[in-house]
Structure 1
Amino acid sequence: MPTVPTAEEILDRSFRRAAKKMAEKSNKERANTDFVRAVGAAVHDRLVYIIRGFPEFENLPPFYREMTDILFGIEKIKQSLGAVGWAAKHTKMVGNQLVLQSRKAEDTLVVRKRAVARLASMVHQIDKDLRFLNEVRNVLRKLPNIEDTFTIVIAGYPNVGKSSFIRKVSSAEPEVASYPFTTKGIIVGHRVMGREKIQFVDTPGILDRPAEERNAIERQALSAMMNVANVILFILDPSEHCGYQMDVQLRLLEEVKGMVQVPVIVAANKSDLTTADGYLSMSTQAGVGVEEVLATILTHKPEQVEKKRERSADIRSPLPTKPEEVVMEVNADNPEGGRRKRPKKPRKPRTIVPDETS
């Protein structure tokens, strides 16, 4: 998404663009008229560019759609985009109207000043919307890159070996991305297996403490993260070197099981220090048992991929078969949304008259 300029920045840029065109005119009256038209067109074009820089929220993957709604409210974003669409439509309209007035006026400079004042007033009316949309843009562009592929979300208390597990199983160095709900970075790792990619996600500050320690927004963020999980890997530390007693870890495990509708695989880490009966055993430090844990997780892959496909089919909105059949336009009359889809009119078939001389 491109940077969303303020009202003043849009006007400054539009005036400079119009002034260049005005400098090319030798006729002063014509120059003033063209200046008004150019300012209106420049403001319109910039506002339309801002609207088109935002995604169609209904078509976003569930994780990004929920995160956007949690952080800002999708309806609020749509209202601001609708306000920008309104301004785009009316700045061009006002510019054209004042051009017609200037042609009949004795003093086109007066009309030009009046036009500039009206256009500036309209753009300043949406300055709060522009600043809000730029804030949205700055946060959304920093969200972690969660791909739409088979995803294993890692849970467990801090220092149990979650990030170590991801580093052991990932094909490359895991990415540490910013996350709006924690000062720590979300860790995302990938492993390529044949033609497929497996994704591992650790969310510090979200799945590493009980519900009573999470605020309302963190609980919503947890719900969004659960939407991307095909399997949960919950890691225990029976040695308790992580700083949390085993009974506390097990209570968090039961809580996580109650929150999700996907398989929860439990693995006891630090097997080189101690063991825990009844759980898969591994040592991320020594690299022992890690691949066996991953193999157990992947036994759930076919079933979970099919379930995810069914869920996606239930919520997927119908889309046109050919992208070129849809034209995006500013929906300036609808304050609830910034854009709408309008099908192109079919072309009339061309009539071919046969050559009678042949």
Structure 2
Amino acid sequence: MVKRKRRMSWVPTHEEVIDKAFRRAKRVAMGIWTSTRGSHIYRTKKTEEQRVLTAWQVMNDKLKAITENKIDFDELHPFYRDLITAKIDVRRATTCYRRIEWAASKILEIRKETIRKIRRSRMKEEIIRARREFYGRSSSILRDISDCFQLLRDLRQILEDLPTIDPEREVVIVAGYPNVGKSTLLRKLTKSNPKVSPYPFTTKKIQVGVTEDGIQVIDSPGLLYREKKNWIEKQAVAALRHLKGVIVYVFDPT
């Protein structure tokens, strides 16, 4: 089990993948055309074949980088898993990893088909058409999974924003209703400067401070007495449910 929070590498948008693939392919194609000797049709074949191979390589590298760095939610500490689940559908994220793997496999299949077409072609128009078809079909596949690119970009930001806590060490959890002074207590105990917002939920996310003795003190978002919790309250529930230590319940008797 992973004790600490995970990090993800940068996830591009589907437009960024397409743009980079085609721009690099164009640069490579210009060099191939200039350096290749032979008939016009031979040079066209070599140029367009390399353009397809280069565009595919960029797409494949980008998709592979995402899937090879995928988050295994089952390996995360339950505390971190619940924090992530409060803001994103992890089942959908897992499905997105599979969809991206499928996209990479499908684009590879189209690349092989396109190279065969180019090599069999006898006319320049056929060669150009084959390459354009590859561009169109591969772009369409990437557009079809654009929602997955965005979801995983959101997941990456969520991971970046997670509090840095050692969930295996005992902590002091400051809990209670919103706007009762929990953040003030954290500030007094740890000299930290927690960020708060206007009422009703002054603390929007878990904030952590450390005392001079090295004790982790957690300021959890306020909890209201109701069955259905919003994503802010779910963070407090995750801390109370999965972190071990002392709970300091703060209330305002006035």
Q: TM-score, normalised by structure 1?
A: 0.57
Task: Give yes or no for contact 1:174–1:190 (8 Å, CA) kept in 2.
Answer: no
- Structure 1: unaligned runs, 5 residues or longer: 237-241, 246-358
Distance in 2 (alpha carbons) for counterparts of 1:163 and 1:222: 13
CA spacing shift, 1:117–1:230, aligned 2, 3 Å: same
Residue matched to 1:233? 248
SS at match of 1:4: coil
Alpha carbons of 1:21 and 1:114: their partners in 2 closer, same or farther (altered >3 Å)? Answer: same
Q: What residue number does 2:186 align with?
A: 166
Larger radius of gyration: 1
**One-letter amino acid of the counterpart of residue 246, structure 2:** V
AA in 2 matched with 1:154: V
Considering Cα pairs closer than 8 Å and 6+ residues apart, tell me whether 1 or 2 has the greater RCO: 2
Post-superposition offset of 1:51 = 2.5
Q: How many residues align?
A: 230
Tell me how far apart the structure 1 counterparts of residues 164 and 196 of structure 2 sit (CA, whole Å).
Answer: 8
Letter in 2 for 1:128: D
Give the match for residue 229 of structure 2.
215
Question: Residue 131 of structure 1 is aligned with which of 150, 157, 169?
Answer: 150
- What TM-score, normalized by structure 2, do the two folds share? 0.78
Matched, 1:114 2:133: yes
Judge conservation of contact 1:45–1:88 (CA < 8 Å) in 2: no
Give runs of ≥4 in structure 1 deviating > 6 Å: none
The alignment's C-alpha RMSD in Å is 2.7
Using the TM superposition, give the Cα deviation of residue 90 of structure 1 relative to its aligned residue in structure 2, in angstroms.
1.7
Question: For 2:16, which of 9, 18, 34 is the aligned residue?
Answer: 9
Matched, 1:65 2:84: no
**Contact 1:155/1:233, CA 8 A, preserved across alignment:** yes
Name the structure where strand makes up a greater proportion of residues.
1
Partners of 2:230 and 2:203 in 1: how far apart?
19
Question: Is the contact between residue 187 and residue 201 of structure 1 (CA under 8 Å) also seen in structure 2?
Answer: yes
Aligned-residue offset at 1:110: 2.0
Which structure 2 residues correspond to residues 202-351 of structure 1 after superposition, within 5 A?
Answer: 202-206=219-223, 209=224, 211-212=225-226, 215=229, 217=231, 220-226=234-240, 227-236=242-251, 242=252, 244-245=253-254
Which one has the bigger helix percentage? 2
Equivalent of residue 99 in structure 2, options 42, 63, 83: 83
SS in 2 for 1:201: strand
Distance 1:93 1:158, change over 3 A: closer
| In structure 2, distance between residues paired with 1:156 and 1:182 | 11
